[in-house]
Amino acid sequence: MRGERERRGGGRGVNLTEAKARLTLHDLWRHFGFAGEPSKSCRCPFHEDRSASCSITADGALWNCFAGCGGGDAVDFYTLASGLPHAKALCAFIALAGGSPVASTPRPPRPKPADVDAAKAEQRQTWPLLESPFEHEHEMGTLAKLRYVSLEGVKLMAGRGLLWFAGWKDSPAWMVADGARVNAQSRRMDGKPWPGIGAKAQTLPGSRAAWPIGARESLPLHFVLLCEGGPDLIAAHHFIYAHGRAADTAAVAMLGAGNSIPADALPLFAGKRVRTLAHGSTT
Ligand SMILES: [Zn+2]
């Protein structure tokens, strides 16, 4: 192949048309190590496909996923499978067609953000019913004693929609969750660790664990106490109540998935005075 190319073009690489003629979807399917055989009706490699949503033309030139992953020619397929930005995918595709070692390592397809969101939403369907804390007055009292804070502080957090109660893994639990229900973490009412994981806090499946709890709810308030973890979120509300600052101060918690606030949550803090509570300073 190299000799032929050099005869024709003095050592230059193949162009895109030549690359497409050389690399079929059958080749790419094998290159990425996808399961099954590409055919007129086959399982789509880009989503969890229980039916046969994908179709590949017999000549291996065109593909389509009827479930919505996309479709097009071999370059489109390569771009989606590699997860590379389009320009880089184009170069890597041509290099692959030219026999260059670039991108010769198979790598699994990267799920699209939309797929990840859909999968997480499906997992969130397994959450227990989060019950209103105001139907659990007794539990709010228990929680205040457990965390050594005032009942009023607990009620302030409850009133802001960040505290819930539920049954989880056969135990009564208190839950820290945001109003949009994208992130929730459960702790046992008796303060003991969850069996199996040995940790006191368990993030519910499908949570977007990096989402700061209370960020959206803080919008109308000028001051924000940024803290780490559910217990500190309760403590922060206790201090807000104790200092008579409920009218202008919010508390927001990062639950430990990471120390940086996601980019789409940052605008929620615009124009606010944010004070960070060092972990442990309030317990
Ligand atoms: Zn698909």
Shared domain for 65 and 200, answered yes or no, is no
Look up residue 134 and give its two tokens. 């105001």
Shared domain for 196 and 233, answered yes or no, is yes
Asked whether residue 102 is domain-assigned, the answer is yes
Asked whether residue 120 is domain-assigned, the answer is no
Query: What distance in angstroms lies between residue 170's CA and the mean position of ligand 1's atoms?
Result: 37
Which amino acid is present at 203?
T
Asked whether residue 122 is domain-assigned, the answer is no
Question: Which residues form the domain of 219?
Answer: 133-276
- Residues 162, 63: Cα–Cα separation, whole Å: 46
Which amino acid is present at 232?
D
- DSSP letters, 199-266, are -SEEEPTT--TTSPBTTGGGTT-SEEEEEESHHHHHHHHHHHHHTT-TTTEEEEEE-SS-SS--TTTG
- Residues 74, 80: Cα–Cα separation, whole Å: 10
Asked whether residue 116 is domain-assigned, the answer is no
Shared domain for 206 and 239, answered yes or no, is yes
Residues present in the chain in total: 283
CB-proximal residues (5 Å) to ion ligand 1: 44, 46-47, 65, 67, 69
Strand partners, 81: none
The pLDDT of residue 283 is 38
Of the three residues 110, 141, 161, the one that is the final residue of a domain is 110
- 184 touches 204 (CB < 8 A): yes
Which is higher by pLDDT, 53 or 114? 53
Strand order in the sheet with 54-56: 54-56, 63-65, 70-72
Asked whether residue 180 is domain-assigned, the answer is yes
- Residues 131, 1: Cα–Cα separation, whole Å: 68
- Residues 199, 92: Cα–Cα separation, whole Å: 44
State the pLDDT confidence band at 258, using cuts at 50, 70 and 90: low
- The residue written with tokens 């048309």 in the block is 17
State the pLDDT confidence band at 161, using cuts at 50, 70 and 90: very high
Which amino acid is present at 269?
F
Shared domain for 98 and 169, answered yes or no, is no
Shared domain for 190 and 265, answered yes or no, is yes
Asked whether residue 31 is domain-assigned, the answer is yes
Asked whether residue 137 is domain-assigned, the answer is yes
Q: What are phi and psi of 12, to 5 degrees?
A: -70, 160
Query: What distance in angstroms lies between residue 68's CA and the mean position of ligand 1's atoms?
Result: 6
- Angle at 248 (CA atoms; ends 244, 253), nearest 5 degrees: 95
Query: What distance in angstroms lies between residue 124's CA and the mean position of ligand 1's atoms?
Result: 22
The pLDDT of residue 113 is 64
User: Whole-model pTM above 0.75?
Assistant: no
Shared domain for 101 and 144, answered yes or no, is no
Query: Quick check: 177 pLDDT over 60?
Result: yes
Q: State the CATH number of the domain containing residue 49.
A: 3.90.580.10
Asked whether residue 121 is domain-assigned, the answer is no
The pLDDT of residue 220 is 86
Task: Write the CA distances from 198 to 148, 176, 202, 205, integer angstroms.
Answer: 23, 19, 10, 17
Query: What distance in angstroms lies between residue 67's CA and the mean position of ligand 1's atoms?
Result: 5
- 58 touches 40 (CB < 8 A): yes
The pLDDT of residue 112 is 65
Query: What distance in angstroms lies between residue 206's CA and the mean position of ligand 1's atoms?
Result: 21
Task: Write the CA distances from 158 to 67, 81, 155, 165, 246, integer angstroms.
Answer: 41, 45, 5, 10, 13
Shared domain for 103 and 165, answered yes or no, is no
Query: What distance in angstroms lies between residue 132's CA and the mean position of ligand 1's atoms?
Result: 39
Query: What distance in angstroms lies between residue 139's CA and the mean position of ligand 1's atoms?
Result: 46
pLDDT for 120-156, tens place per residue?
888 888 899 999 999 999 999 999 999 999 999 999 9
Shared domain for 151 and 235, answered yes or no, is yes
Query: What distance in angstroms lies between residue 34's CA and the mean position of ligand 1's atoms?
Result: 13
Query: What distance in angstroms lies between residue 173's CA and the mean position of ligand 1's atoms?
Result: 38
Query: What distance in angstroms lies between residue 64's CA and the mean position of ligand 1's atoms?
Result: 8
Of the three residues 78, 110, 142, the one that is the final residue of a domain is 110
Shared domain for 264 and 191, answered yes or no, is yes
Strand partners, 179: none
Shared domain for 26 and 103, answered yes or no, is yes
Instruction: Specify the number of domains making up the chain.
Output: 2
- The residue written with tokens 């099954």 in the block is 36
| 256: nearest Cα among 180, 196, 199, 197 | 199
Look up residue 97 and give its two tokens. 């067609």
Shared domain for 148 and 258, answered yes or no, is yes
Shared domain for 155 and 266, answered yes or no, is yes
Which amino acid is present at 197?
I
Query: What distance in angstroms lies between residue 69's CA and the mean position of ligand 1's atoms?
Result: 4
Query: Quick check: 56 pLDDT over 90?
Result: yes
Query: Quick check: 102 pLDDT over 50?
Result: no
